[in-house]
Amino acid sequence: MSTPPGSDDRLELELDQPRVSVKAPAVRFDRQGELTDAERVEKAMGNFVKDFGRTAAIYMESCIHCGMCAEACHFYEVTKDPKYTPIWKLEPFKQAYKREYGPFAFLFRALNLKPRVTAEQLQEWQHLIYDSCTVCGRCSLMCPMGIDIAALISQARHGMFHAGLVPHELWAVAERGKREGSPLGATPKVFKDRLEWLADDHEVEIPLDKARAEVLCTMSSIEIMKYPDSVVATARIMNHLGLDWTFRSDGYEATNFGLLSGNAAWQKEMSMKLINAAVACGAKTLILPECGHAYTALRWMGANMYGKPLPFRVLHMSEFLAENVQNGRLKLRKLPKSATFHDPCQVSRRGGAIEAPRVVLEALGVELREMFPTKGTNWCCGGGGGVVANRRADELRHKVFRIKMEQIEQTGAEVPVTSCANCRQTFDDGQAHYKWDKEMHSLLELVAENLAEEAT
């Protein structure tokens, strides 16, 4: 196979490099900009308050300190350290609410019942909000009061970003995404070159920039740069189904590090590229790749960014595959193996697309061996929410990954499968770290490898 375009050493975050070769960084707190400590606190507090709407206020007043969220968190589960209790990760956010916004704010200020948030506290909480939270939502699911802790963590990140207190690696890829259009260097030129290389190397037609198309397909940075077979698999399936589809160079990158870093403006800009590209070509359906946070950013937040209902359907790749299995158009050869499915948090638990991948696996004829717990309560892989980008979080993240290893080993399944490239990257990293003999597989790629008769 020829060397892929765009795979030189200029990437600031090269996912193909073995992480074990990089010396673990010392514990640190990262800062962006030249703000004073007082200015950082002011910006954080100001942006915390901006997010204190009715829903956040209800959440803040509802916590009964039962501790059930602790048992739901994989970071607490492996450490038993109280600081990793999900609701504790929101303490600066809660302090700001109690002192500045809550119904008894004047009393909290007068009696100093909740002290002022300090710069030192924000620096300490940077680790809790970014390094030890994947925003997986398991704590939200388990909370008896219905508090969406994961959503509050995302809101707290808004204030941290504006205060210039984001982990450096996460900030760097988010900034690169804003500047170049892709957090991992998959610029429009790189993307075009890669499509040409993949089309030639795999003898598959991959349309780009069709003026009109019924289906717009998108990809994630990790797939473009690390798992290009996913691009080929997408093309093979679309062509197999005989669909009028295209990629667009003005809207192909579904990864949204604006969401992960806490910059709402960058998040909107990245989402609007996809929305505008779909509108420009008249797409009736926009298909998101195997990427959990891309699904959250566009499927559940896209209309808010657009300011009105989206004029097209948004489907995760697993939903698209399941839909075509169920309507009889996508027929697959049987795969005589046992498999287990890792549920991506943002697609399954947060997004509700739990059964779609199981419909596809059933069509593949595998013996599905579910993990315990599974589906909406499945444990996170530990790398979501931008955590996998923060190298200082590696030691803790690897401890968390042991939960997934044990879950999969207990099933005895031959083939672990998932529908999120970020999860897949986390599994590859964990496999290398522990020299584990299990390789995570892409649902999309399994389907492309087992296409049967022509679509009807």
The residue to which tokens 């600081």 are assigned: 83
Residue 337 lies in a domain: yes
Cβ atoms 254, 220 nearer than 8 A: yes
Using a cut of 0.75, tell me whether the model's pTM lies above it: yes
Burial of 406 (0-12, 13-18, 19+ CB in 10 A): exposed
- pLDDT for the residue 50: 84
Distance (Å, whole) CA 456 – CA 329? 5
Same domain, 158 and 243: no
Residue 30 lies in a domain: no
Residue 234 lies in a domain: yes
Tell which of 306, 323, 340 closes a domain.
Answer: 323
Same domain, 337 and 306: no
Same domain, 364 and 409: yes
Strand-pair partners of 140:
none
Please state the domain count of the chain: 3
Distance (Å, whole) CA 241 – CA 24? 47
- pLDDT for the residue 27: 54
Q: Which of 442, 254, 427 is nearest to 360 (CA)?
A: 442
Tell which of 293, 323, 353 closes a domain.
Answer: 323
Same domain, 194 and 312: yes
Cβ atoms 421, 159 nearer than 8 A: no
- pLDDT for the residue 95: 87
Same domain, 286 and 388: no
Residue 28 lies in a domain: no
- pLDDT for the residue 5: 52
- pLDDT for the residue 11: 34
- pLDDT for the residue 108: 87
Residue 9 lies in a domain: no
Same domain, 206 and 305: yes
- pLDDT for the residue 26: 47
Tell which of 305, 323, 341 closes a domain.
Answer: 323
Domain housing 376: 332-449
Same domain, 434 and 391: yes
Tell me, what CATH number does 432's domain have?
3.40.50
Chunked into runs of 10 residues, the chain (456 residues) has average pLDDT values of 45 38 55 93 89 88 92 96 94 87 87 87 92 97 96 94 94 93 92 97 98 98 96 98 98 95 95 98 98 96 96 98 97 97 97 97 98 96 95 95 97 98 96 96 98 68
Same domain, 294 and 363: no
Tell me, what CATH number does 284's domain have?
1.20.1050
- The DSSP-derived string for 261-329 is HT-HHHHHHHHHHHHHHHHHHT-SEEEE-S-HHHHIIIIITHHHHHTS--SSEEEEHHHHHHHHHHTT-
Same domain, 154 and 213: no
Residue 156 lies in a domain: yes
Residue 25 lies in a domain: no
Up-side HSE of residue 315: CA atoms within 13 Å toward CB? 19
Residue 380 lies in a domain: yes
- pLDDT for the residue 454: 58
The residue to which tokens 């597989």 are assigned: 441
